[in-house]
Amino acid sequence: MSKKTTQFKTLLNSDQTEFLMEAHDGISARIVEEAGFKGIWGSGLCISAAMGVRDNNEASWTQVLDVLEFMSDASGIPILLDADTGYGNFNNVRRLVRKLEQRGVAAMCIEDKLFPKTNSFIKGEQQPLADVDEFCGKIKAAKDTQHDADFCVVARVEALITGQGLAEALRRATAYRRAGADAILIHSKKSSPDEILAFMKEWRGNSPVVIVPTTYYTTPTSVFSEAGVSVIIWANHLMRASITAMQQAATLINRERSLEPVEHEIATVKEIFRLQNAGELDEAETRYLPGGNTAQGS
């Protein structure tokens, strides 16, 4: 068992509601950790967006793994990967689990849609769902493959997104729990939490529940805590914040033909060096280079 997988399993089964923040590269992962979050959501949407491609499995799963390796190296807290549909069938899922464990990723979330997936907020009601038995096979394959007993598989239920209702969501969630899922992520695109709260009332703590309140963000998190939600994910907010900041800075610099208007509104170059842990390299050069000669490392 690795430290990160144990941390995530503890977080998932905590007596209080825990929170994950989205990250999409090494530096955002470090920022999430420094902000005090106990875990990271490796957002498929945001990792794709950082590459400039759509959230339709246009980024290959090996490209996503490359990003995750940098994120894992840059942070000391567990990562829950948004692994879409598992990038294929049960066999792809088995290989994915092995590669995630090798990179120190603590958990993955797979959703019951078809590969290649489309983001849930793009015509979600028109998206077909996976066959329940086939998806259960993916969950079983993942659990049978893992070497680390604490590695977690979160099963994401899309029945509410597609408009199939509470009964279908509960049917699928129950099947996925019985197949071995460590938690259920129940997803909704409504602006109110009514669907989520109705699910929680019927679910009655059968296993941990994860939610993503992107569209019903005005609801106080205490409401979800009282309903028994285990983990709340802020799923895309660092990417969205960075897009706004970059658009504003780029527009202003282009308009003014000067850096002066933005220089005191953005991070310093020294802050970039700090987040890159440049100080550790200085110390290492002093320790390992003859006479502490940094020129050899330049």
**Model pLDDT for residues 53-101, shown as the tens digit of each residue:** 999 999 999 999 999 999 999 999 999 999 999 999 999 999 999 999 9
For position 117, what pLDDT does the model report? Answer: 84
- Whether residue 255 is found in the same domain as residue 195: no
Average pLDDT over every residue of 143-170:
97
Q: Which residue has the higher pLDDT, 118 or 245?
A: 245
Mind listing the pLDDT tens digit for each residue in 143-155?
Answer: 999 999 999 999 9
For position 120, what pLDDT does the model report? Answer: 82
- Whether residue 210 is found in the same domain as residue 94: yes
Active site residues: 55
Mind listing the pLDDT tens digit for each residue in 219-273?
Answer: 999 999 999 999 999 999 999 999 999 999 999 999 999 999 999 999 999 999 9
Mind listing the pLDDT tens digit for each residue in 19-65?
Answer: 999 999 999 999 999 999 999 999 999 999 999 999 999 999 999 99
For position 122, what pLDDT does the model report? Answer: 77
* Spatial distance between the Cα atoms of 67 and 57, rounded to a whole number of angstroms: 15
Q: CATH number of the domain that 154 lies in?
A: 3.20.20.60
Sequence-distant contacts of 271-279: CB under 8 A, at least 24 apart: 275/27, 275/30, 275/31, 276/27
SS3 sequence of the chain: CCHHHHHHHHHHCCCCCEEEEEECCHHHHHHHHHHCCCEEEECHHHHHHHHCCCCCCCCCHHHHHHHHHHHHHHCCCCEEEECCCCCCCHHHHHHHHHHHHHCCCCEEEEECECCCCCCCCCCHHHCCECCHHHHHHHHHHHHHHCCCCCCEEEEEECCCCCCCHHHHHHHHHHHHHHHCCCEEEECCCCCCCHHHHHHHHHHCCCCCEEECCCCCCCCCHHHHHHHCCCEEEECCHHHHHHHHHHHHHHHHHHHHCCCHHHHCCCCCHHHHHHHCCHHHHHHHHHHHCHHHCHHHHC
- Whether residue 166 is found in the same domain as residue 281: no
* pLDDT above 80 for 295: no
Q: Phi/psi at 209 (nearest 5 deg)? A: -120, 135
Domain that holds residue 37: 3-236
Q: Is beta strand 231-234 parallel, antiparallel or unpaired with respect to 209-211?
A: parallel
Could you tell me if 79 and 106 are in contact, meaning their C-beta atoms sit under 8 angstroms apart? yes
- Whether residue 182 is found in the same domain as residue 262: no
Binned at pLDDT 50, 70 and 90, residue 292 comes out as low
Q: Report CA-CA distances (Å) from 84 to 8, 47, 50, 254.
A: 19, 12, 16, 38
For position 294, what pLDDT does the model report? Answer: 54
- Whether residue 212 is found in the same domain as residue 151: yes
Domain assignment present for residue 273? The answer is yes
For position 93, what pLDDT does the model report? Answer: 98
**Max CA separation in the chain (angstroms):** 71
Average pLDDT over every residue of 193-212:
96
For position 127, what pLDDT does the model report? Answer: 83
* pLDDT above 70 for 298: no
* Spatial distance between the Cα atoms of 189 and 218, rounded to a whole number of angstroms: 13
For position 291, what pLDDT does the model report? Answer: 82
For position 68, what pLDDT does the model report? Answer: 98
- Whether residue 257 is found in the same domain as residue 209: no
For position 65, what pLDDT does the model report? Answer: 98
**Number of structural domains in the chain:** 2
- Whether residue 122 is found in the same domain as residue 262: no
- Whether residue 12 is found in the same domain as residue 141: yes
- Whether residue 141 is found in the same domain as residue 208: yes
Could you tell me if 3 and 105 are in contact, meaning their C-beta atoms sit under 8 angstroms apart? no
107 forms bridges with which residues in the sheet?
80, 152
- Whether residue 129 is found in the same domain as residue 264: no
Q: Is the pTM of this model over 0.85?
A: yes
Domain assignment present for residue 297? The answer is no
Domain assignment present for residue 227? The answer is yes
Domain assignment present for residue 296? The answer is no
